[in-house]
Amino acid sequence: MMRLSFWLGLSLSVALARAALYKGCQHKVKESIHGPPRGWVKQSPAPPNHIIELKIALPQPNFSVLEQHLWEVSDPDHERYGAHLSKEETDALMAPHQDSVDAVNEWLASHGFAAEHLIRSSAKDWITIRVPVSLAEEMLDTTYHVYYHAESGDSIVRTTSYSLPEVLHEHIDLVQPTIMFGRFRGLKSTLHWAGSSSLASSPASGTITGPAGNQVDASCNNTITLTCLRQIYNAVGYNTSATNGNKIALTGYLGQYANIADLEMFYQYQNPAAYGTNFTFVSVHGGINNQSMAAAGIEADLDTQFALGLTYPTPGTFYSTYGSPPFIPDAMENSSSDNEPYSYWLDYVLSQPDVPQAISSSYGDDEQTVPYSYATRVCNGFAALGARGVSIMFSSGDGGVGDGDADPATQECYTNDGRNVTAFVPGFPASCPYVTAVGGTVNVPETAVFFSGGGFSNYFPRPAYQGTAVQGFLDKLAPGTYEGLYNPYGRGIPDVSAQAYNFLIVYQGEEGYVAGTSCSSPTFTSFVSMLNDARIDAGLPTLGFLNPFLYSKGLTGLNDITEGNNPGCGTEGFNSTIGWDAVTGLGTPNFETLKELALAA
Ligand SMILES: *[C@@H]1O[C@H](CO)[C@@H](O)[C@H](O)[C@H]1NC(C)=O
Ligand SMILES: *[C@@H]1O[C@H](CO)[C@@H](O)[C@H](O)[C@H]1NC(C)=O
Ligand SMILES: *[C@@H]1O[C@H](CO)[C@@H](O)[C@H](O)[C@H]1NC(C)=O
Ligand SMILES: *[C@@H]1O[C@H](CO)[C@@H](O)[C@H](O)[C@H]1NC(C)=O
Ligand SMILES: *[C@@H]1O[C@H](CO)[C@@H](O)[C@H](O)[C@H]1NC(C)=O
Ligand SMILES: *[C@@H]1O[C@H](CO)[C@@H](O)[C@H](O)[C@H]1NC(C)=O
Ligand SMILES: *[C@@H]1O[C@H](CO)[C@@H](O)[C@H](O)[C@H]1NC(C)=O
Ligand SMILES: *[C@@H]1O[C@H](CO)[C@@H](O)[C@H](O)[C@H]1NC(C)=O
């Protein structure tokens, strides 16, 4: 109690009186995992003064109502298509029941937390508190440890099980960080970064035929520029508006800073008209904007250069969300632990009345390292954005059917659930059915790029909009193919794809090539933003959550990719086939056709 009063400066007697309410109330395990995921080793007890930023999720009893709205306003065959909800409407549908709010308030008060110590999300469905490890251990009847990940050198403070008073189980969905060991990372395969030394010395001259039947510079077969993407995806000559209200946004995490000097140099090379312009910087949860050249992030540079370069003069936003750097165990005593940054980013955007209508995110985790409870809540947040008319794109992953941690050919993939059996490793948030997952292609004519993340979710069932397309793919597999390695009833990944190899960017003042589904997500997002631009000019609402449109009326606006495969986990992965496949989804955009379809939807 001394420590508590010291921390929160509150009255000991009040805290003691409140604590009495929970006396004798039995703690019961809320969530546990078999052990830390592969690669993590328990090192030492967590220092008692280490600060943890605990996020507590209160149930959303009306989420199914929100989901129903999402399906209706996103379905081009429904009379409510485009009738997006307001922030107030989605907040009301995400809100917890007052009984849950009261019960959790009482519990927190019993541990000395007054209203002013709690940070609540806009819908009041998340509460954040800062607590020392010692108090978190008491509240959750658990013991935190420092875990070490040899391959990355990261250390984190986690546990493998936590408990809550039994009466609170129905009022709390989850508390994190506890059992989450995800290693959220940028989906740019560093494997493929190559500086200027490997630039194609003499790009081929002349033209070749692109997927839409138009002419494309032959050099686009080995070097991807803004001009190439406009040509390949049939959007040459389409002009966007700077002032019609349309916006595009990129997310940055993990100290990835978008460098403006790099952006300007890129514009000089690839879009001189945009030279001198930049983006709106938005700091989330203390994210900074470090413009030192040495702090430029390859992921953030890629995302901003291609998305803003393709859609210029559409106003762009770059969100910089603070994420904990890897800990140095020696300094852990006075440092603090956060959650994964998606939830902070979601808290922020969901609290804003106006959100850019197309947003790309090139970050992800192995689905199995994100607890089901947490993945579900984050996914629900994306549903709320979709219902509000925002299109959210995620890279599908850079490890084919595996996790991208190792050479796809030799990679071993094991489940985390204690069974330790071999299984494919889908990525999250790409596996969330309320986002558009973007896989990768290479060359002209386009084929699947070998690392294109694809497969099937083990958490989320196949959504109705995928029914026919995904069943068609499964029906074509030879009987018994990869039996037991994937969940044939799961949400199929990806939905669509775009070029993902040999993107020519400027990074720390130097031109060089980069590859990864980190290239394809901002690319696809740019064409979605152009579609929104056309819809806004025509007086129509934006496209919002895209998938129901893409799998129905938009289908003929996508170039089907039928060659290539995505090896991983010691297998050849899936094959790209006619129709949807678990490598390139429905295919790549044909902008002019999609525009006609989107304007008619
Ligand atoms: C939430 O659901 C309850 C029970 O079904 C209903 O009474 C209430 O009106 C709903 N709230 C909203 C905001 O729709
Ligand atoms: C593009 O490059 C690929 C791989 O080198 C090659 O197979 C293909 O024929 C090229 N495309 C054209 C149109 O030459
Ligand atoms: C786009 O803008 C350019 C430069 O202002 C102009 O030459 C071109 O005609 C415009 N294209 C369309 C389709 O309006
Ligand atoms: C970014 O653009 C804004 C508005 O045009 C400008 O004020 C600012 O100086 C620019 N920042 C840099 C670093 O060029
Ligand atoms: C910005 O980045 C540079 C280079 O990495 C670093 O030296 C500097 O401390 C950073 N500044 C801040 C405010 O973090
Ligand atoms: C933590 O902070 C305390 C008080 O400021 C200080 O005495 C101690 O040396 C710090 N520990 C570490 C490991 O930095
Ligand atoms: C899982 O099984 C593999 C292969 O049998 C083995 O190498 C690995 O150590 C096992 N991992 C765990 C956590 O038991
Ligand atoms: C992929 O296609 C090759 C060549 O047709 C075939 O041998 C292989 O079995 C297919 N793989 C799958 C998973 O369907």
End-to-end CA distance of the chain: 62
The answer on 131 and 260 residing in a single domain is no
Q: What is the pLDDT of residue 259?
A: 96
The answer on 509 and 362 residing in a single domain is yes
Q: Is residue 82 part of a domain?
A: no
Is 219 an active-site residue? no
Among 138, 163, 181, the domain-final residue is: 181
Is 299 an active-site residue? yes
Q: Is residue 80 part of a domain?
A: no
CATH number for the domain spanning 596: value is 3.40.50.200
pLDDT of 21-37, one tens digit each? 565 578 999 999 988 88
Number of domains in the chain: 2
- Residue written as tokens 């495969």? 565
Q: Is residue 425 part of a domain?
A: yes
Ligand nearest to the CA of 483: 8
Q: What is the pLDDT of residue 483?
A: 96
Ligand nearest to the CA of 292: 5
Amino acid making up residue 296: A
The answer on 108 and 172 residing in a single domain is yes
Is 303 an active-site residue? yes
Q: What is the mean pLDDT of the chain?
A: 90
Q: What is the dihedral of CA 365, 367, 369, 374, to 10 degrees?
A: 100
CA–centroid distance, 293 to ligand 5, in Å, is: 9
pLDDT of 220-261, one tens digit each? 999 999 999 999 999 999 999 999 999 999 998 777 899 999
The answer on 273 and 124 residing in a single domain is no
Among 154, 181, 208, the domain-final residue is: 181
Token output for 180: 């989450």
Of residues 438 and 185, more confidently modeled: 438
Nearest atom within ligand 6 for CA of residue 331: 13
CA–centroid distance, 325 to ligand 4, in Å, is: 28
454-467 mean pLDDT? 97
Q: What is the dihedral of CA 327, 330, 336, 342, to 10 degrees?
A: 10
pLDDT of 315-365, one tens digit each? 999 999 876 544 555 555 556 666 677 788 999 999 999 999 999 998 888
CA distance 13 to 36: 39
CA–centroid distance, 393 to ligand 4, in Å, is: 27
The answer on 440 and 495 residing in a single domain is yes
Q: Whose CA is nearest to atom 5 of ligand 1?
A: 62
Range name among 6-20, 141-155, 263-277, 363-377 with the lowest pLDDT average: 6-20
* Most confident among 96-105, 284-293, 367-376 (mean pLDDT): 96-105
Q: Whose CA is nearest to atom 4 of ligand 6?
A: 334
Q: Whose CA is nearest to atom 14 of ligand 3?
A: 239
pLDDT of residue 200 exceeding 70, the answer is no
The answer on 205 and 113 residing in a single domain is no
The answer on 204 and 173 residing in a single domain is no
469-474 mean pLDDT? 98
Nearest atom within ligand 2 for CA of residue 209: 13
pLDDT of residue 113 exceeding 70, the answer is yes
Q: What is the pLDDT of residue 591?
A: 98
pLDDT band at 184 (very low <50, low <70, confident <90, very high): low
Q: Among 239, 530, 595, which residue has the most ligand 3 atoms within 8 Å of its CB, making it the best to mutate?
A: 239
The answer on 203 and 174 residing in a single domain is no
pLDDT band at 194 (very low <50, low <70, confident <90, very high): low
Q: Domain residues for 313?
A: 191-327+344-600
Residue 160 pairs in a beta bridge with none
Q: Is residue 65 part of a domain?
A: no
Q: What is the pLDDT of residue 417?
A: 75
The answer on 489 and 403 residing in a single domain is yes
Contact between 379 and 57 (Cβ < 8 Å): no
pLDDT of residue 100 exceeding 90, the answer is yes
Q: What is the pLDDT of residue 10?
A: 40
Question: Is any ligand 6 atom within 6 A of the Cβ of residue 328?
Answer: no
Which residues does a 6 A CB cutoff place in the pocket of ligand 2? 208, 221, 443-444
Of residues 8 and 22, more confidently modeled: 22
Ligand nearest to the CA of 332: 6
Q: Is 408 helix (H, G, I), strand (E, B) or coil?
A: coil
416-435 mean pLDDT? 89
Active-site residue identified among 303, 405, 533, 581 = 303
The answer on 144 and 205 residing in a single domain is no
Token output for 530: 């152009």
Residue 222's Cα: distance from chain center in Å? 28
Q: Spell 18-56 as b/e; 16+ CB within 10 A means b.
A: bbeebeeeebeebbebeebbbbbeeeeebbeebbbbbbb
Among 159, 181, 203, the domain-final residue is: 181
pLDDT of 34-75, one tens digit each? 888 878 899 999 999 999 989 999 999 999 999 999 999 999
The answer on 253 and 119 residing in a single domain is no
Question: Is any ligand 6 atom within 6 A of the Cβ of residue 331?
Answer: yes
Q: Is residue 151 part of a domain?
A: yes
Q: Is residue 455 part of a domain?
A: yes
Q: Is residue 162 part of a domain?
A: yes
Q: What is the pLDDT of residue 339?
A: 63
CA–centroid distance, 335 to ligand 1, in Å, is: 42
The answer on 227 and 172 residing in a single domain is no
Q: Is residue 7 part of a domain?
A: no
